[in-house]
Chains A and B, each alone.
Chain A
């Protein structure tokens, strides 16, 4: 199998895109306001610290991951042309995304611990710091689990998007367009229904709420336990990676 070559090729391309993504984000959110303030003579209103503490590198990285994990057909065409099987392509793609998550998650946390946490406080930094950091009494363990949980959340995101994207790539262009329009509408309706149910008193105390509490590691009166959530994220990732693998194995060259 040529997993190494495929991973190297995908990684080279995607890292380049990641660097551009970070640079564009910095340019749009930092350099552009600075230039506008400079040109309009309102430089005194420009706050480097304020922009820096709100710099959404984590969100940008998540969006970047959604985009690159959803797109696979163009790469599939190139790899099948060059004698690479669907299995190798899938493993290469997944490996690439895992490496990118290792890098991106590291950058995000480094930025968070060095810049954002001192400026905005740790509670507002991310899910882990807001809910689970207090579970650990050792700083290194806390940082390590923050890295692990943030990474796992991103892995869940990419496996879900990979599964969805690869399923979409099997459809015709017309069906793809219908799905792109239809799914957000259905999603909004479902969220609306779920929110309504959540707020209804009758719903509280049902098995879904209990399941939710179990997953998030809720202990009455105590700090949330991160391990149930970590386990859930692991299972979620494995299930969706398997679904994505199934759809990857069905990829075919389309008649264009």
Chain B
């Protein structure tokens, strides 16, 4: 049961502070959703985790061993990202062969199935692939390498709805067949809500949220009703957003409700991860409560 730990990672590019003292733990056999707005620092963090770039400070460990310059630990991770790291002139089958040689194994059975499902031609050259098929090929590699940590950075870039559906289905099937830690970094929150077990929200280089999806969703409360009643009920709670329509108002609360009495005029319901993400990462001032809770 391997554990990947990110310890006090900070990173700046010039005067821009991209990551500030990030601490995270990725436990074995869980599926994490890494969410954040554009330029939040997600890709930088993933590149640091896989030792593609250096952090200014801090370290990344697998089972307490630093991954930097460590083949045995680096070989336990695979990062699928939009960056093209393969030679444009190599054929897909040749890249698969090289990947197998370097990772010491490859699930050809799964690869063949995926190649057929996605209708991928392995005799093509990598540089000739369209954006969608470029992503698809890298997804095939990511799902078929024998690693403990599979990291996807924008995995469905350029994929149509059908291909995205195939990917999510195959991801779950692959996870079910071979449980391992999966980190999904994406903007398509609604599509991964049913897949991920834990959610991490990063914003301006800081971790806003790092909890299980179940815990997070159990803390979301949409309080709707007449404005004055809603404000009175949510007074002192962690209101992270609100919407008003005429005299009706909905306050979005993130956190535990205390045992205050719910007025008859006010209704309580849950709200989804995407809404929570938007409220947590929007800079708009929040009325009636504190913004964000970590």
Which positions in A face B, CB cutoff 8 Å? 1-2, 5-6, 8-9, 74, 77-88, 249, 252-253, 256
Interface of chain A, helix or strand or loop or mixed? helix
B103 within 8 A of A: yes
Distance to closest chain A CB from B279 (angstroms): 30
Contact, CB under 8 Å: A80 / B102: no
Contact, CB under 8 Å: B102 / A82: yes
Known: A2-B75, A85-B74. 13 other contacts (CB 8 A): A6-B102, A9-B98, A78-B85, A81-B79, A82-B75, A82-B98, A82-B99, A83-B78, A83-B102, A84-B71, A85-B68, A253-B53, A253-B85
Contact, CB under 8 Å: B51 / A74: no
Report A-chain residues with C-beta under 8 Å of the C-beta of B83: 253, 256
Contact, CB under 8 Å: A86 / B69: yes
- Kindly state the separation between the CA atoms of A83 and B145 in the bound complex, as whole angstroms: 11
Q: For chains A and B in complex, what number of residue pairs have CB atoms within 8 angstroms?
A: 65
Distance to closest chain B CB from A173 (angstroms): 16
Which positions in B face A, CB cutoff 8 Å? 47, 50-54, 68-71, 74-79, 83-87, 98-99, 101-103, 147
Report B-chain residues with C-beta under 8 Å of the C-beta of A85: 51, 68-71, 74
Distance to closest chain A CB from B271 (angstroms): 36
Distance to closest chain A CB from B159 (angstroms): 20
- Which residue among B51, B70, B76, B102 has the maximum number of chain A CB atoms within 10 Å of its CB? B102
- Kindly state the separation between the CA atoms of A253 and B86 in the bound complex, as whole angstroms: 12
> Which residue from chain A places its CB closest to the CB of B53 in the assembled complex?
A252
Distance to closest chain B CB from A89 (angstroms): 10
Query: Which 4 pairs between the two chains have the least Cβ-Cβ distance?
Result: A83-B75, A81-B85, A82-B102, A83-B74
Which of B51, B70, B87 is in CB contact (< 8 Å) with A80? B51
Contact, CB under 8 Å: A74 / B87: yes
Contact, CB under 8 Å: B86 / A83: no
Interface of chain B, helix or strand or loop or mixed? loop
Distance to closest chain A CB from B101 (angstroms): 5
- Kindly state the separation between the CA atoms of A87 and B54 in the bound complex, as whole angstroms: 15
Report B-chain residues with C-beta under 8 Å of the C-beta of A79: 102
> Which residue from chain B places its CB closest to the CB of A80 in the assembled complex?
B52
Report A-chain residues with C-beta under 8 Å of the C-beta of B76: 83
- Kindly state the separation between the CA atoms of A87 and B70 in the bound complex, as whole angstroms: 9
Distance to closest chain A CB from B72 (angstroms): 8
Q: What are 18 inter-chain pairs, A to B, with CB distance below 8 A?
A: A2-B102, A5-B102, A77-B85, A78-B87, A78-B98, A80-B74, A82-B75, A82-B98, A82-B102, A83-B71, A83-B103, A84-B71, A85-B51, A85-B68, A252-B54, A253-B53, A253-B85, A256-B83
Report B-chain residues with C-beta under 8 Å of the C-beta of A80: 50-52, 74, 85
- Which residue among A9, A81, A84 has the maximum number of chain B CB atoms within 10 Å of its CB? A81
Report B-chain residues with C-beta under 8 Å of the C-beta of A9: 98, 101-102
Which of A2, A8, A252 is in CB contact (< 8 Å) with B71? A2
- Kindly state the separation between the CA atoms of A74 and B126 in the bound complex, as whole angstroms: 14
Distance to closest chain B CB from A71 (angstroms): 11
- Kindly state the separation between the CA atoms of A150 and B190 in the bound complex, as whole angstroms: 65
Report A-chain residues with C-beta under 8 Å of the C-beta of B69: 85-87, 249
Report B-chain residues with C-beta under 8 Å of the C-beta of A86: 69
> Which residue from chain A places its CB closest to the CB of B97 in the assembled complex?
A9
Report A-chain residues with C-beta under 8 Å of the C-beta of B54: 252
Report B-chain residues with C-beta under 8 Å of the C-beta of A8: 101
Report B-chain residues with C-beta under 8 Å of the C-beta of A74: 87
> Which residue from chain B places its CB closest to the CB of A252 in the assembled complex?
B53
Report A-chain residues with C-beta under 8 Å of the C-beta of B85: 77-78, 80-81, 253
- Kindly state the separation between the CA atoms of A197 and B37 in the bound complex, as whole angstroms: 62
Report A-chain residues with C-beta under 8 Å of the C-beta of B47: 253
- Kindly state the separation between the CA atoms of A208 and B136 in the bound complex, as whole angstroms: 62
> Which residue from chain B places its CB closest to the CB of A1 in the assembled complex?
B71
- Kindly state the separation between the CA atoms of A253 and B84 in the bound complex, as whole angstroms: 10
> Which residue from chain B places its CB closest to the CB of A81 in the assembled complex?
B85
Given the interface contacts A78-B87, A253-B47, does A84 sit within 8 Å of B102 by beta carbon? yes
- Kindly state the separation between the CA atoms of A6 and B98 in the bound complex, as whole angstroms: 10
Report B-chain residues with C-beta under 8 Å of the C-beta of A88: 71
Distance to closest chain B CB from A169 (angstroms): 14
- Kindly state the separation between the CA atoms of A78 and B68 in the bound complex, as whole angstroms: 17
Distance to closest chain B CB from A5 (angstroms): 5
Report B-chain residues with C-beta under 8 Å of the C-beta of A81: 79, 85-86
